[in-house]
């Protein structure tokens, strides 16, 4: 009869994963049966997550002993799952997760937020049937926001170059993949370090390293040039294959990405999946969509900027909403809407060339700036029959909160070793109070010819590291510096708390921060931020 010897073992495991070893004395002189159990190891002995090892050979055992060993393995797996205290829920209970992030469009472009120039019925329907956040914050440009949302960390910890995600960083896709989710990404990548020609910038496996089983991406290893735009006839890299502009002649990039994800959902509808759609819409150039191009050639020529920029931008916003509607409809068609959590947001503010009417006021886009027009983005969450219906929340959220929220939704318990700055807002999606944050932080070093800076804010007030103090709800363009008239109990208390937070943060980024900057300080082990 084999003898159980349950212990944690690191020997020979380069990943540092916990290996549960079942030592026995087989009749034929065999060896130990080695198994890894995801999430359980961290919960029991504080080690990183690990995956189930496929090699369970029982050679060397007599038939009866082999069957006994199989039974013991099954019992041990159940036992470890119980010991984990619910670290990960059963697959049948875990929701599919779809995260859609639009490119270069802020809250003023959505009807549910007060927009007047755009038609966004599908996103507005998600808000009406789910939860809409009034206060979600990103960074002013794309890459810092993408690194922040994918890793759950402020930029001072891990952002070093424009267009680059350190492949050693653990992303939300790695997390979900390790927990048994099938994962896919489609749309804009721009994270290989192409602009600075960093090591591995031409490595097409980077999406796999970031935790995605499948991908269909623009600007993976191919640098944008005069004829390689993301819209009409785009060059795309998909699951290891490079699809040239000629191969995609006449096709519209956003439709290709949407089709790819819908096919992924179709093939994986019987198991938990994570679909991440960092859209290419509505970044410039502002060009016609399939709904507005008419009889014009649907070639690379259609990607050129033209005098109809504002009208094209409006059409692109409307088409972006149409694609969101297609994805939502796909969950209904597959019968998985009740078990699919959909999140919609955007990476930063609207292009500064765009002016929009919002609640009767004309406002200018703020991409690249640290004002609310550059960092205040939409956030809508919807899961049919699960999310609170029509809830509008003033809770503060920033992009570090997405990672822990996805973990929470998947039943993954994050431990002390997880370097996550955010907190889950999943309880609020289900109508519970949750544990909303009191502040958000923006540590902004773009490395893209933009002015760096740092601010902290509450729902009402915003304090920059250089001392400027604003009340953005009443001062969108931040022209009234309240630091010159610090009166009133509410202002004084908010200023004190925000100053305490900034005092506990790393130094603010210095210098202009262009692509060639040599000094790129990061503070991965900085102590927790706090206020007094």
Pick the residue with more confidence: 63 or 254?
254
CB-based contact 477:413 (threshold 8 Å): no
- Percent of the chain exceeding pLDDT 90 equals 67
In terms of C-beta density within 10 A (0-12 exposed, 13-18 middle, 19 or more buried), how is residue 52 classed?
exposed
Residue 364 pLDDT more than 90?
A: yes
Strand ranges, E, within 142-240? 182-188, 214-218, 236-238
pLDDT of residue 419: 79
Residue 485 pLDDT more than 90?
A: no
Helix (H) or strand (E) holding 243: strand 241-243
| Spatial distance between the Cα atoms of 1 and 65, rounded to a whole number of angstroms | 7
| Tens digit of each residue's pLDDT (9 = 90 or more) over 377-392 | 999 999 999 999 999 9
Residue 476 sits at φ, ψ, to 5 deg, of -60, -35
In terms of C-beta density within 10 A (0-12 exposed, 13-18 middle, 19 or more buried), how is residue 28 classed?
exposed
Strands 214-218 and 182-188, sheet pairing: parallel
End-to-end CA distance of the chain: 61
Residue 405 pLDDT more than 70?
A: yes
* CATH-assigned architecture of domain 95-229+265-287+297-393: 3-Layer(aba) Sandwich (3.40)
* pTM tops 0.75: yes
Q: Where are the alpha helices (DSSP H) in 376-436?
A: 402-409, 426-429
CA distances from 403 to 244, 249, 310, 349, 432 (A): 33, 37, 34, 21, 19
Pick the residue with more confidence: 35 or 369?
369
Q: Residue range 155-183: average pLDDT?
A: 97
Integer-rounded Cα radius of gyration of the chain: 25
| Spatial distance between the Cα atoms of 454 and 382, rounded to a whole number of angstroms | 32
DSSP letters spanning 303-367? GS--TTHHHHHHHHHHHHHHHHHHHHHHHHHTT-GGGEEEEEEESSPPPTT-EEEETTEEEE--T
| Spatial distance between the Cα atoms of 220 and 226, rounded to a whole number of angstroms | 17
| Spatial distance between the Cα atoms of 475 and 148, rounded to a whole number of angstroms | 27
pLDDT of residue 224: 57
- Kindly list the domain boundaries of the chain, sorted by start residue: 8-83, 95-229+265-287+297-393
From the list 160, 135, 219, the residue with the least C-alpha distance to 185 is 219
Tokens of 240: 């290891």
**Beta bridge mates, 237:** 217, 242
**Beta bridge mates, 243:** 236
| Tens digit of each residue's pLDDT (9 = 90 or more) over 64-121 | 444 544 444 454 444 444 443 334 444 448 999 999 999 999 999 999 999 999 999 9
Q: Which residues contact 462 (CB under 8 A, 6 or more apart)?
A: 372, 455, 456, 469, 470, 471, 472, 478, 498
| Spatial distance between the Cα atoms of 96 and 98, rounded to a whole number of angstroms | 7
| Tens digit of each residue's pLDDT (9 = 90 or more) over 175-213 | 999 999 999 999 999 999 988 999 999 999 999 999 999
pLDDT of residue 225: 52
CB-based contact 455:465 (threshold 8 Å): yes
pLDDT of residue 527: 85
In terms of C-beta density within 10 A (0-12 exposed, 13-18 middle, 19 or more buried), how is residue 521 classed?
exposed
Residue owning tokens 């980024």: 509
Q: Residue range 445-466: average pLDDT?
A: 92
Residue 505 pLDDT more than 70?
A: yes
Q: Residue range 487-503: average pLDDT?
A: 95
Q: How many residues does the chain have?
A: 532
| Spatial distance between the Cα atoms of 517 and 452, rounded to a whole number of angstroms | 12
Residue owning tokens 């900027």: 305
Q: Residue range 310-327: average pLDDT?
A: 97
User: Burial letters for 327-363: b for 16+ Cβ neighbours within 10 Å, e otherwise?
Assistant: bbebbeebebbebbbbbbbbbbbbbeebebebeeeeb
| Spatial distance between the Cα atoms of 382 and 379, rounded to a whole number of angstroms | 10
Q: In this structure, how many other beta carbons lie within 10 angstroms of the beta carbon of residue 382?
A: 26
Span of 182-186, 309-313, 389-393, 484-488 with lowest mean pLDDT: 484-488
Mean of per-residue pLDDT scores for the chain: 84
Residue owning tokens 């796999």: 208
Residue 17 pLDDT more than 80?
A: no
| Biggest CA-to-CA distance, the chain | 85
Q: Running DSSP on this structure, what letter comes out for residue 115?
A: B
């Amino acid at each position: 009869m084999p003898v159980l010897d349950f212990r944690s073992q690191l020997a020979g495991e380069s990943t540092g994963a916990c290996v549960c070893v079942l030592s026995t004395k087989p009749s034929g002189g065999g060896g130990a049966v080695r198994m890894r159990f995801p999430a359980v190891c961290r919960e029991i002995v504080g080690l990183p997550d690990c995956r189930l090892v496929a090699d369970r050979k029982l050679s060397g055992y007599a038939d009866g002993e082999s069957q006994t060993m199989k039974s013991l393995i099954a019992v041990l797996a159940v036992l470890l799952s119980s010991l984990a205290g619910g670290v990960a829920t059963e697959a049948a209970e875990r929701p599919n997760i779809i995260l859609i992030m639009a490119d270069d469009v802020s809250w003023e472009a959505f009807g549910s937020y007060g927009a007047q120039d755009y038609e966004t019925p599908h996103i507005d329907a998600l808000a009406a049937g789910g939860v809409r956040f009034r206060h979600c914050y990103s960074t002013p440009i794309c890459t810092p926001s993408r690194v922040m949302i994918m890793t759950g960390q402020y930029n001072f910890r891990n952002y070093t170059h424009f267009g680059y995600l350190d492949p050693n960083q653990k992303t939300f896709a790695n997390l979900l993949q390790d927990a048994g989710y099938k994962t896919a990404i489609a749309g804009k990548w721009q994270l290989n370090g192409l602009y600075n020609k960093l090591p591995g910038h031409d490595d097409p496996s980077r999406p796999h390293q970031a935790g995605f089983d499948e991908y269909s991406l623009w600007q993976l290893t191919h640098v944008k040039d005069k004829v390689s735009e993301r819209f009409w006839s785009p060059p795309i890299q998909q699951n290891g294959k490079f699809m040239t502009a000629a191969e995609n002649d006449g096709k519209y990039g956003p439709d290709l990405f949407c089709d790819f994800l819908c096919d992924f959902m179709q093939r994986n509808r019987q198991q938990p999946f994570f679909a991440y759609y960092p859209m290419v819409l509505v970044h410039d150039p502002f060009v016609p969509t399939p709904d507005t191009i008419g009889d014009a050639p649907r070639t690379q020529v259609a990607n050129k900027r033209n005098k109809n920029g504002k009208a094209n931008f409006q059409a692109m916003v409307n088409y972006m909403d149409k694609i969101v509607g297609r994805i939502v409809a796909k969950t209904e068609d597959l019968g998985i809407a009740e078990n699919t959590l959909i999140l919609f947001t955007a990476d930063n503010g609207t292009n500064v060339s765009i002016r929009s009417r919002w609640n009767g006021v004309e406002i200018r886009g703020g991409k690249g700036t640290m004002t609310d027009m550059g960092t205040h983005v939409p956030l809508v969450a919807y899961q049919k029959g699960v999310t609170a219906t029509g809830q509008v929340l003033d809770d503060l959220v920033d992009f570090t909160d997405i990672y822990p929220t996805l973990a929470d939704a998947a039943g993954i318990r994050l431990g002390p070793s997880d370097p996550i700055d955010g907190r889950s807002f999943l309880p609020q999606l289900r109508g519970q109070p949750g544990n909303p944050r009191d502040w958000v932080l923006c540590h902004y070093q773009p490395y893209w010819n933009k002015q760096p800076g740092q601010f902290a804010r509450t729902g009402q007030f915003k304090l920059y590291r250089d001392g400027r103090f604003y009340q953005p709800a009443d001062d969108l363009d931040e022209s009234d510096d309240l630091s010159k008239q610090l009166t009133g109990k509410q202002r004084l208390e908010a200023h004190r708390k925000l100053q305490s937070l900034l005092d506990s943060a790393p130094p603010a980024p210095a210098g202009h921060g262009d692509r060639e900057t040599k000094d790129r300080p990061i503070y991965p082990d900085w102590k927790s931020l706090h206020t007094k």
